A and B are shown apart, each in its own frame.
Chain A
């Protein structure tokens, strides 16, 4: 698949949150205001692109040559956990302002299923190194898009009257459901029309 195809697929058609349900916990948890949603979104893009590249390297260069592909789950989750720690330390050293903006979201990302999800999906789709990297960035952008739209809607919703049992989480889910409905307009046919 071409790179444009991968980008459109992961940002719109298979949007991680609205079509695949990966990364829902931070999506509901951190979408209360737009600033933190943007911070979380960029942290996720960063970690996902690094993670998909790192897991690709480990899978192709270590697990496959040694025929120990069954260690995939264990090795991937450890790579991601280590990577998040490393990224946290590097950012703290290089750019304290960036660390201040993203820092609190980084530990949350380890248990974000979207990161492990993109690593596993990239391996299953037989992507090469660059394709995995692009898929990681695209899936991250899809996450950013969904969480930012969601947070702006929630900021509006805070000012509206909502029936008591629906306040908070339930109305967020229903909003997300309606967003997912809108995202269903993006399907495989769109991709075919766009790039043939």
Chain B
């Protein structure tokens, strides 16, 4: 049961491993607070649509399942969009058109088609949570790198007297501005993906080594 949840975070992380939902991941990762907002939106839409699709899977005719899924997803996206405009207007402005674009985020339709339309409610729920959390963590990692190196700050949610912005001494005066701009997003994800590939390759060669030390020598 737990594995349905944890696979979305590590083994099948939507951003780094299966490379789904990249457009929003890159576009909104300029500040940590945007990543949090986007992550929350995606988790809500994933949960809502996977629950609905899992419950309705026996009633939706096979032939029109994709359009039906899209309508369900779009309804939840509309809810997120309206709620964000009402209660977090500045976040809504920062994320701009990308809130509405959650509807074409391949993670959501992908999970609906591959998972929720076949499994029971409880499994779908855990899958949605895992994928959503995995997406949010990946987004947080990218945005933290870009914001810390690119502007020398960490922007979180403002609470009371704390305005939400943490300055990093030494970096905030002379940040590597390029990382906060468009090219930075592509470079950061490229290097992160290479890092994950490298980790995977190292792990793979280790397991081969453990099983048969002589075979691994030639492979690595």
Contact = CB atoms under 8 A, between A and B. Distances in A.
Contacts of B82: 70
Interface of A: 18-25, 28, 70-74, 77-78, 81, 111-113, 116-117, 120-121, 124, 163-167, 169-174, 176-178, 180-181, 183-184
A17 B215 CA distance: 44
A78 B104 contact: no
3 nearest CB pairs, A to B: A173-B190, A177-B186, A177-B187
A25 B178 CA distance: 23
A166 B100 CA distance: 33
Contacts of A165: 194-195, 197-198, 201
A78 B183 CA distance: 32
B106 A111 contact: yes
A174 B184 CA distance: 9
Given A24-B23, A70-B82, A73-B74, A174 B190 contact: yes
Nearest to A166: B194
A88 B173 CA distance: 54
Contacts of A19: 182
The main secondary structure of chain B at its interface with chain A is: helix
B119 interface: no
A116 B190 contact: no
A22 B23 contact: yes
Contacts of A172: 190
B208 to A, nearest CB: 15
Interface in B15-57: 19-20, 22-24, 26-27
B75 to A, nearest CB: 7
B81 interface: yes
A174 B103 CA distance: 27
A169 to B, nearest CB: 6
Nearest to A110: B104
Contact of B27 (A20, A70, A163, A184): A20
Contact of B187 (A25, A166, A174, A183): A174
B16 to A, nearest CB: 10
Contacts of A70: 78, 82
A177 B189 CA distance: 9
Contact of A112 (B74, B104, B190, B194): B104
Contacts of A124: 97
Contacts of B71: 74, 78
B191 interface: yes
Given A70-B82, A165-B195, 17 more contacts: A21-B185, A22-B101, A25-B19, A73-B74, A77-B74, A116-B100, A120-B100, A163-B194, A164-B201, A167-B197, A169-B19, A169-B193, A170-B190, A176-B186, A177-B183, A178-B187, A181-B178
A166 B195 CA distance: 8
B167 to A, nearest CB: 26
A151 to B, nearest CB: 16
Contacts of B66: 81
Nearest to A124: B97
Contacts of A117: 97, 101
A167 B193 CA distance: 10
B181 interface: yes
Contacts of A18: 182
A178 B186 CA distance: 8
A124 B99 CA distance: 13
